[in-house]
Structure 1
């Protein structure tokens, strides 16, 4: 399933139509000398209406790539959980320079997702590394949302420019895309290189819970993939527990606020307030314990 979004620049109004849109990308900068004068207002509109927000920079061949990325960050000022994209469509910018720009931006991004935007012709005709940072935003105006003519996995497909640039993203809901942008629930399979990095360069590997599923033979796929599965399974469990703790913390906070309001209004005595607080805390702990047992 996919969701719909748009991207806007100085050519669009700061009060663009949000009907049917789940996400909005806004052009921020070009090179080291241009800032979209409507960027702040266009971003503010998306934020105020609860859309997933992205910012993008148009790469120029006339200036330092690192300087461009610094310029972009300074003027886009993305918030936590907002996306960034490098727009690669100028002929003078090579594939290697595109890669360098994305890697530099990711190093400065503070955990924010960085995407590559390019056309289908650039991806299939100019790209030689298949590197797209955290995800590929592919442009092909084929009138077939979610069906670009590429083999690579994509995150966003820009399928038309009429009446404005319109996209679909490979998420089932706005909430799912927002969670991905924020770095939540990304249980990606580990590659052999990932496993070796986690295990260390000395060749010592951590065994999974069931040692029978672990191969000491480094030439065996199980030597890597059973370990990768083990790590991913435990990562998933930890994230579920983290979510349970966060949810219960919010419930306790809401209960505490309600009790405080009742106490201030004289509806409860001091003893009743203490008893209610203790009962709420006990119930929350029991609920968390049950959740941990489930997971």
Structure 2
């Protein structure tokens, strides 16, 4: 089960009945010199009722795509969750002399240009099945397709394309259906979440440089402590500790080898056993290692 809405133009009052509605699309501009005089009041009325609101532009496709898009975009102070629509049809006199190829190219260019200007809003297209089947050549509709097939049941537009909105009646007021299950779902879909931008090597280098060169206030305000210098000193201390430890291990191994040889020699000479000599030497070595530990960690016994 879906949700219902309407689309309004200057033919509707400033405050249409919103009972049972979840969304409303409002005509804002046409061509390069028309603005719906009621669109602001209609938008404010829809939003005050808690509806998802969308704005649409009716094109004169012989004009510049960018000029018409900019004219439309400049009318609205766009907010997160606002839907943006091209009303793509050309049965009127303004579009009668425009070839279908030009109309198809206009549609794609308008949608892409407007999306580049409003990357955080949903930008889509309205058209009927005649334009979808017989004028469109790319199946491109931006972020969503709003398809018109007046006379068919709501939610059954009769096309295979992945549509979101269906205009199922144009009698009196245009009535629309959305296949999402609730107003909350539509609001969540309309609010595009900005994607996290991946860090580049330049970003990483900039962060590292900022940390390395950051000056932390020290005890003397006139002599801040440079974080990079502290990190470098810690690196040096760590390297020196590793070198000292490696040297101590090597010297310990050599001493152990010499001790074994000495113990064996003393054992042969008599007076003390080899085990007694080894035990005495190991006690002295333990004391020496303890002193080394104090030297490495900077403590005193």
TM-score norm. by structure 1 comes to 0.61
Q: Which residue of 1 aligns with 2:290?
A: none
Structure 1 143/5 Cα, relative in aligned 2: closer, same or farther at 3 Å? same
Superposed CA offset, 1:54-94 (max 9, x none): 00000112321111111111113321111010011015351
| 2:130 corresponds to 1:121 | yes
- 1:179·1:185 contact (CA, 8 Å) conserved in 2? no
Q: Which residue of 2 aligns with 1:179?
A: 188
- 1:115·1:134 contact (CA, 8 Å) conserved in 2? yes
Q: Which residue of 1 aligns with 2:56?
A: 56
TM alignment of 1:159-238, pairs within 5 A: 159-183=168-192
Distance, in Å, in 2 between the alignment partners of 1:183 and 1:169 is 18
1:102 is aligned, of 93, 108, 111, to 111
> Counterpart of 1:42 in 2: which secondary structure?
helix
Superposed CA offset, 1:179-211 (max 9, x none): 10102599xxxxxxxxxxx9xxxxxxxxxxxxx
The answer for unaligned runs of 5 or more in structure 2 is 199-301
Q: Which residue of 2 aligns with 1:71?
A: 71
- 2:86·2:124 contact (CA, 8 Å) conserved in 1? yes
Report how many aligned residue pairs link the two structures.
Answer: 187
- 1:158·1:168 contact (CA, 8 Å) conserved in 2? yes
Structure 1 155/184 Cα, relative in aligned 2: closer, same or farther at 3 Å? farther
- 1:55·1:78 contact (CA, 8 Å) conserved in 2? no
Larger radius of gyration: 2
The answer for unaligned runs of 5 or more in structure 1 is 187-197, 199-295
RMSD of aligned alpha carbons:
1.7
Runs of 4+ in structure 1 off by over 3 angstroms are: none
